[in-house]
Amino acid sequence: MDMWTPFFRLMTELSARKWLSRAAGRLAGSSMSRRFIPRFARIYGIDPSEAELPLEQYPSLNAFFTRRLKPGLRPVDPDPDAATSPVDARITGIGFAQDGVLLNVKGQNYDVESLLNGSPRSVNYRNGFFFVLYLSPSDYHRIHSPVSGAIVEKEHVPGKVYPVNEFGLRHMKKTLSRNERVITYIRHDRGEAALVKVGAMNVSSIRYADTLGDRVEKGEELAMFEFGSTVVLLFEQGTFRARPDLMVNSRVRMGERLGILVDKHGAKQGR
């Protein structure tokens, strides 16, 4: 830790207030903000040709930030055994939980029960597999289902809005468990998966898709972040086998295979 870290930590603590985040959200949602869209795209290296609409047709910076992509740019792995990435992201944590703990996420350990706000469902993930997926400002910010199944529970957990970037995860205490979260539990053919959508500094909201029903298909839109954040994806113990080449700092895209669903005995899902 260098001499400036305590100072930046204090400044982050002071700025992690919902009213500041809401104010930033209002500005980004105003018509005045549309003039910043071209500059925002240049600064963050966003390819405008991937956006569903031309830049000038977005009414605000937030509308551009939550843009849809042109059809076909994020193909979803069609194999019914495959579980896919819910987002475009960089992996900042990956592995098996150990007795209810996610180990070494940017140097910190996270308790599954705290992450899931004390849910009785936490027991399903005590030794399950997890991904921590960080979305930078340049990423596509809609969140899609990694599996096909029934939505069995949704929960909103109020909290702080600390940054979830490198500094926030490494130097702020238990950011993923203290920030505002929206949790979705999906029951698929071989068990259960939980998507923990973690809010961040300058995030005005995490919103579910307007058309979301009680059942989702793999790749179907679940929600969106209004400004960058993180998804923690949990698979129930004994139901998932990860791709062996994935590791911390690997980049993944929405719809890309993360691994395969297996039954409790390690066999692939039946067709």
169, 92 Cβ separation under 8 angstroms:
yes
Residue corresponding to tokens 């998507």: 195
Residue positions annotated with a catalytic role = 88, 144, 229
Q: Is 62 helix (H, G, I), strand (E, B) or coil?
A: helix
Chain position carrying tokens 């340049």: 138
User: Comparing C-alpha atoms, which of 238, 260, 11, 248 is closest to residue 146?
Assistant: 260
Strands 240-242 and 257-261: antiparallel
